Structure 1
């Protein structure tokens, strides 16, 4: 078996997968180690990979140009984070459906016209998952928040033209969120 995303490296050489062993399995992620043969024949043991569900991020814009963001505490960093509404894609769920669900659950906003901005990887040397970034134009508040048991967040509406400033100032720190915002702003003609 060989791994390829459809975009081979410059010389078109792939690493051959020789085997895997799951080291840790939790409800949130798996940690595995792979044994790989490089194109020059060298064998790499213990290439560690974190398996997670794909994620979705949503840059939603209201008709009046407001963007609902989410402020929540991030225990690994021990700080508050201002971010795009985001979450994991449930097993068997399409990313687009997950994006619509997450926006509604975390902000109460829905509707509008949606498009996929990009699919990216926040850490392709370590994690085996994708982040799907969506742009939703013309959303409106339609419901109360529907948070998970341990979610504690605040919805913060900011003017669309302030997003770049929030990225540059370091208030928005998620690499997937930052990339998604910059690409969506470009698509909106704001970048």
Structure 2
């Protein structure tokens, strides 16, 4: 689809952000409480979580139709999560550079071809967090030894793309960027936006 459809136009009045009161701040996020005016004209107390890094997601897709996934314990939901490599890009860092760094640090891989697949908003009712997702192709082992963040204890798995997609759709990999990126790659393979041999390996 070329251009923005006409139905995507804004409608009604926007939120009006009034006086803000800082509640919490650390190197990664801040929380501000606002006295706001809703689009309906009613006053509303609004808590906004602001992120200091953009979320970066990388789908490492091998020539044989397999993908490399990362496993780790996640604190917020108190469980173990299998997902694609992810990290953060500070405002001063190019997002693609951050994607290359995260791929190397978490998996020990590098890619000869990169494609930006999506720019999305995460939980946009209470946060301003944005995410950028990349497809990494023509993968090989990175030159140096890879090192995860000092707080990360990571496991790696290389699995068939179709198996990863089915696991995500079954709810076994609920990380939203993982689900979205796998679905995006599936759509590309079905619509002829990937090399035919790669698409066959993914979908077979």
Same fold (TM over 0.5): yes
How much has 1:35 moved relative to structure 2? 2.2
- Contact 1:24/1:32 (<8 A) preserved: yes
Is 1:54 paired with 2:70? no
CA distance in 1, matches of 2:169, 2:100: 27
Whose helix fraction is larger, Structure 1's or Structure 2's?
2
**Aligned counterpart, 2:174:** 173
**Aligned counterpart, 1:4:** none
- Contact 2:169/2:179 (<8 A) preserved: no
CA deviations over 1:31-59 (Å, ceiling 9, x no partner) = 11122223343222x20111112101111
Kindly report which structure 2 residues correspond to 1:1-191, keeping only aligned pairs within 5 A, or say none.
Answer: 10-44=10-44, 46-52=45-51, 53-142=53-142, 143-189=144-190
- Contact 1:70/1:153 (<8 A) preserved: yes
TM-score for both structures, normalised by structure 2:
0.82
Question: Relative to structure 1, is the Cα distance of residues 66 and 130 closer, same or farther in structure 2, using a 3 angstrom cutoff?
Answer: same
Residue 112 of structure 1 aligns to a residue whose secondary structure is strand
Task: Judge which range, 8-17 or 62-71, deviates more.
Answer: 8-17
Q: State how many pairs are aligned.
A: 184
Residue 180 of structure 1 aligns to a residue whose secondary structure is helix
CA distance in 2, matches of 1:146, 1:130: 25
5+ unaligned residues in a row in structure 2: which ranges? Answer: 1-6, 191-201
5+ unaligned residues in a row in structure 1: which ranges? Answer: 1-6
Residue 102 of structure 2 aligns to a residue whose secondary structure is helix
- Contact 1:61/1:67 (<8 A) preserved: yes
CA distance in 2, matches of 1:112, 1:161: 23
- Contact 1:54/1:88 (<8 A) preserved: yes
